Amino acid sequence: MLFEHFGITGTALTASLTVPDIGGIVIGFAAQAALADIITGIVLLIDRPFRIGDRIRIEKLDTRGDVIEIGWRSTHILTRDNRLVVIPNSIIGVDLVTNYSIPCRMFRVEIDVAVSYGPDIEYVRNLIIEAMKQESWIMH
């Protein structure tokens, strides 16, 4: 009776109730990625597959570096060439993550070296070994 008194018809009432529902659906789809990042961020903070300072590799993105921040929505990684990579936690949650810092901080680095046919291989090998001896971060 109140609706009739103010001249509100059934069609107008239905339309006014439908608009917020559509808005809610649109907002829900827009917030889906952010909610997935936050939920995965909480799981990462509880499960702790890596910590700040750990060297990790995200296989799907082929990104490796040191973790400098773990947030609710994203994880910040500083690569060896000094680039900051910000990765949404939802990507980390579904991808294979290799942690090179656990159980200890020592890790192995493999590098392929191409040498032409001319030089003596043993001479080139000794050059590489001498260059590595000059680096403090390499275990002798």
Domain ranges of the chain: 1-106
Write down the pLDDT at residue 5: 62
Residue 137 has pLDDT above 90, yes or no: no
Mean pLDDT of 117-132: 89
| Full-model pTM | 0.60
pLDDT (tens digit per residue) in 48-78:
899 999 999 999 888 999 999 998 889 999 9
Residue 113 has pLDDT above 70, yes or no: yes
Q: Please tell me the distance from the alpha carbon of residue 67 to that of residue 87, in angstroms, as a whole number.
A: 11
CATH topology of domain 1-106: SH3 type barrels. (2.30.30)
Residue 15 Cα distances to 10, 18, 40, 103, angstroms: 9, 5, 37, 61
